[in-house]
A = this chain, B = another copy of it.
Amino acid sequence: MKRLLITGAAGNMGKAMRQRLGHLAETIRISDIAPLDDAAANEEPFACDLADSDAVLRMVEGCDGILHFGGVPSENTFASILDSNIRGLHNLYEAARKHSKPRILFASSNHTVGFYRQDQFIGVDQPTRPDGLYGASKCFGEGLAQMYFHKFGQETAIVRIGACWPRPTTVRMLSIWLSFDDMASLAERVFKAPYLGCPTIWGVSDNQPKWWDNSASAYLGWVPKDSSEIYRSELERNPGIPDRGSSQAKWQGGGFVDDPIYTEPPRALNR
């Protein structure tokens, strides 16, 4: 690729992907609403508020591929979610449609299905059960991506990310952890695939406990290499196995199912 756009490039996942995916394009256009003062040699910073359609249009121009990590990453006020994840996503797809439809990897979330229990093994074709406004905004995003695919041929990999962090930090995360390396290898496959279409993919490493069936996207040949199992004994001691009957123990969405409807931005949570 000539130019790959990474939105949300100042976030943890954005930074980790910039380190790992620089070889995918001659130039990596990095974008965020937060400052980006650490650009590498082949990186091209582009400050952008996703809610600003003109800015988004310019941001997408000239890009051959998009890693869309931007937007609100967790439960928040409806106003924030509306601006970033709904209005912002529409801006992105309109910009892509007007600029040659570069492939998009769209970071959706396991919180589209947070109200399935942990003993339910689900495929990507089962109905969504979002656990909050954040999850509902991702349902909109998935529908939007599907629509742009069927209507305009815009290809998107919808990746329902579990928890993409340096390492798992709770027992629940043993089931949903996605390592940075596995996220990176997935992105490679998405941009190299001869045919992508518009698959929904569970973004999760090769952990032993499994909630999600990824066979529908097996055609991509993505095989995650990391496993959370090496962290199990440590995490079972600290922070410990969650209480039986708690949301952390029972629901795929964990603590999100308990969230209130926020009227002001929540402080960061560890789930």
**Chain B hits for A143, CB < 8 A:** 112, 128, 130, 135-136, 139-140
Contact of A209 among B94, B130, B131, B221 (CB under 8 A): B221
Q: Which residues of B contact A126 (CB under 8 A)?
A: 125
The reply on A223 being an interface residue by CB < 8 A is yes
Contacting A118 at CB < 8 Å: which of B119, B219, B243, B250?
A: B219
* A223 cross-chain contacts in B, Cβ below 8 A: 208
Closest to A212 in B: B218
Q: Note all chain B residues with C-beta closer than 8 A to A213.
A: 215
B97 near A87 with CB under 8 A, answer no
* Assembled-state Cα–Cα distance A216/B118 (Å): 11
Given contacts A140-B139, A143-B140, contact A195 B86 (CB under 8 A): no
Are B192's CB and A221's CB within 8 A?
no
Find chain B residues with CB under 8 A from A129 CB: 146-147, 150
CA distance A261 to B139 in the complex (A): 20
A257 at the interface (CB under 8 A from B): yes
Docked complex Cα distance between A142 and B133 (Å): 12
Residues of B within 8 Å of A94, CB to CB, are: 261
C-alpha gap A49/B82 in the complex (Å): 18
| Closest beta carbon of chain B to A164's beta carbon, Å | 20
| Contact residues in B for A133 (Cβ distance below 8 Å) | 90, 144, 147
A244 contact set on B, CB distance < 8 A: 194-195
User: Considering only CB atoms and an 8 Å cut-off, how many residues of chain A contact the other chain?
Assistant: 73
Stretch touching chain B among A10-18, A65-73, A169-177? A169-177
A131 contacts across to B, CB distance below 8 A? 147, 150-151
Q: Determine the chain B residues whose CB is within 8 A of the CB of A211 once the complex forms.
A: 218-219
Return chain B residues, CB-CB under 8 Å to A140: 86, 136-137, 139-140, 143
A197 interface residue per 8 A CB criterion: yes
Task: State whether the Cβ of A167 lies closer than 8 Å to any Cβ in chain B.
Answer: no
- A158 to nearest B CB, angstroms? 11
Q: Does A199 contact B (CB under 8 A)?
A: yes
Distance A126 CA – B146 CA, assembled complex (angstroms) = 14
A135 to B217, CA, bound (A): 25
List A residues 77-96 near B (Cβ within 8 Å).
78, 82, 86-87, 90, 94
B249 lies within 8 A of A219 (CB):
no
Nearest to A126 among chain B residues (CB) is B125
User: Can you name 29 A-B residue pairings with CB atoms under 8 Å?
Assistant: A82-B86, A82-B87, A90-B133, A112-B143, A115-B150, A118-B195, A119-B195, A119-B197, A119-B199, A121-B215, A121-B216, A130-B143, A133-B144, A136-B147, A139-B139, A139-B143, A140-B143, A172-B194, A175-B221, A194-B242, A194-B250, A195-B249, A207-B221, A208-B221, A208-B222, A209-B220, A210-B221, A211-B218, A221-B229
